[in-house]
Amino acid sequence: MNNKALIPMVLLVASYATQADATKVVNWPGGTAVVKSYGPDGGLTLGRIETDGSLVLEMPEPPPSKQTVDQSFANCGGEGGMSVGPLDVGFTPTSLTVERDGTELGVLHAATSSEVVAWRNSFAEKNAVEGAWLQWVHVTAEADATGDCKVTMYTDSAASEGFEYASEHKVVFAKGWNLMRNSILAVHADSTGKRHAQHVVTDVVKAMPEGASWYFVK
């Protein structure tokens, strides 16, 4: 899919200084493992998975981030606009990798359904569905990212077929770890039948929403 404008997709939450998040991982094959996140600022061990599939996230303080909240959210590139502040607040997104003895086993996705996980894990190549995915992020101070943006998203290489993509941000970060939720409220089916996310609302929640789970994907 070709984009007429670059849309910041941040994955990827409510604030906790150091909070354990214990729940059962869907599709966990068994055994113990370490949960890590890797990014431009290095790797970070976030917790572990127990033999029975219980996920324990300890969420230590990450190293200083070169990425900021305003860099991550300020670009709209279409109709509308974002209000982000204050400037220069460090922003550390996470993408959870599962390892055992230094070998990667797979990844973890937090979502409201396995279909949302499949769409996310395919980098939007598979069909989108209504639902939500969640992501832990860390900020170095209180910050807000609010506003909306509408851009034309093209579904073919010739840019002959497109649809209006709308994103809304209602993000209020507390200092520390936050659980960010991205809710797909509407999908668009193109002429081939492929479904694309069309309306996404991003906010922060205090805990995993009802119906959401952590999914293990090899």
Residue 86: pLDDT band with limits 50, 70, 90: very high
Q: How far apart are CA 155 and CA 217, in angstroms?
A: 27
* pLDDT 10s digits, 100-113: 999 999 999 999 99
- pLDDT digits 0-9 by tens, 129-163: 999 999 999 999 999 999 999 999 999 999 999 99
> What is the rounded average pLDDT of the residues 38-59?
92
- Residue 141: give the domain boundaries: 2-217
Residue range 157-173: mean pLDDT, rounded? 95
- Spatial CA neighbour of 180 closest among 33, 69, 98: 69
- Provide the pLDDT for residue 76: 80
Q: Is residue 175's pLDDT more than 80? A: yes
Question: Residue 44 contacts by C-beta under 8 Å, 6 or more apart in sequence?
Answer: 36, 37, 38, 60, 62, 63, 94
More confident: 13 or 205: 205
Residue 21: band (very low, low, confident or very high) from pLDDT cuts 50, 70, 90: low
Residue 125 backbone zone (phi > 0: left; psi -120 to 50: alpha; other: beta): alpha
Mean pLDDT of 8-19: 35
pLDDT of residue 22: 55
Q: Locate 211 and state its tokens.
A: 């119906």
Residue 18 has pLDDT above 70, yes or no: no
Identify the DSSP state of 63. P
DSSP annotation of 122: T
User: In which band, very low, low, confident or very high, does the pLDDT at 12 lie, cut at 50, 70 and 90?
Assistant: very low
Predicted pLDDT of residue 81: 87
The mean pLDDT value for 52-70 works out to: 94
What is the mean predicted confidence (pLDDT) over 187-209?
97
Provide the domain count of the chain.
1
Higher pLDDT, 42 or 109: 109
pLDDT on residue 42 = 77
Instruction: Name the β-bridge partners of 134.
Output: 110, 181
Are 213 and 20 in contact, with CB atoms under 8 Å apart? no
Tokens for 110, please give them: 């937090």
Would you tell me how many other CB atoms lie within 10 Å of the CB of residue 96? Answer: 21
